[in-house]
Structure 1
Amino acid sequence: MAALSTTVAPLTGAALTYTAAASGGDTCQTGAGVLLLVRNDDAASHTVTLATPGTVNGLAIADRDVAVAAGTEVAIPVTNDYRDQSTGRASITYDGVTSVTVAVVRVPV
């Protein structure tokens, strides 16, 4: 898994750098104001999955699947609900990475 860098957006704005989604998945920072931006320039829809570690009353918490339609971009909040206690980061996988790029931005809250 590749560790995605986080761009902190100051009040004056910030230029974002997108990187290719890794076929083995990515990790990113979690927390208030953190967004995973996913751009899908492929002709097909893709699904992004954020692993949700932990359990509630012994039951696994379902992972978050987000569909990204062809030719669109989505912003996915990456709250601390997705924080893996062993790594301190969120784990992200993709059903396909052809023409899929990602960026992580943290907006001060």
Structure 2
Amino acid sequence: MTDYSPTSIGVDGTQHTFNAAASGDKVTASGAGVFLTVKNGSGSPVTLTIAPYGNTGYNVANPQKTFSIAATNEKDIPLLRDYADPTDGYKVALAWSSTTSVTWAVKRLGVL
């Protein structure tokens, strides 16, 4: 299990570190301007699942959000504040259907 923090995109551009997808990946920030870039280098689609903490107003578990990343493609995914778990330091847990040839970076739009 590893926690990752976003790197900000500045006016001169930013070289981001891409991490190998792994079980237990977590992001330490979410909300306005924070997003993931997921690169799927495998020959099959990969699904990223985020299970938001808590319940709806009518006391049913918040629904999971799934994102499909096509084979040999990449996708930018916003990290909504609603995904954060207040019982785990407001981290967002990432669950991958497969980690083979999948890399990702967490980014934050900087103030330009």
- TM superposition score category, shorter chain reference: over 0.9
Question: Which residue of structure 1 aligns with residue 59 of structure 2?
Answer: 58
Question: Which residue of structure 1 aligns with residue 25 of structure 2?
Answer: 26
Aligned-residue sequence identity (percent) comes to: 35
Pairwise CA distance, 1:31:
1.4
Separation in 2 of the partners of 1:55 and 1:108?
32
**RMSD value, Cα:** 1.1
Which structure shows the bigger proportion of residues in strand conformation? Answer: 1
Question: Which residue of structure 1 aligns with residue 79 of structure 2?
Answer: 78
State the aligned residue count: 108
1:45-76 Cα offsets, whole Å, 9 max, x none, are 01001121111120111111000000000011
Separation in 2 of the partners of 1:3 and 1:59?
28
Paired residue type of 1:106? R
Paired residue type of 1:34? V
Unaligned runs of 5+ in 2: none
Question: Which residue of structure 2 aligns with residue 2 of structure 1?
Answer: 2
Question: What does 1:32-43 correspond to in 2, within 5 Å?
Answer: 32-43=32-43
Moved more, 10-19 or 87-96: 10-19
Separation in 2 of the partners of 1:37 and 1:6?
11
Tell me if structure 2 keeps the 8 A contact 1:25–1:94.
Answer: no
Unaligned runs of 5+ in 1: none
Separation in 2 of the partners of 1:64 and 1:45?
16
Pairwise CA distance, 1:32:
0.7
Pairwise CA distance, 1:12:
2.2
Q: How does the TM-score come out when normalised to structure 1?
A: 0.93
Tell me if structure 2 keeps the 8 A contact 1:7–1:105.
Answer: yes
SS of 1:86 mapped into structure 2:
helix
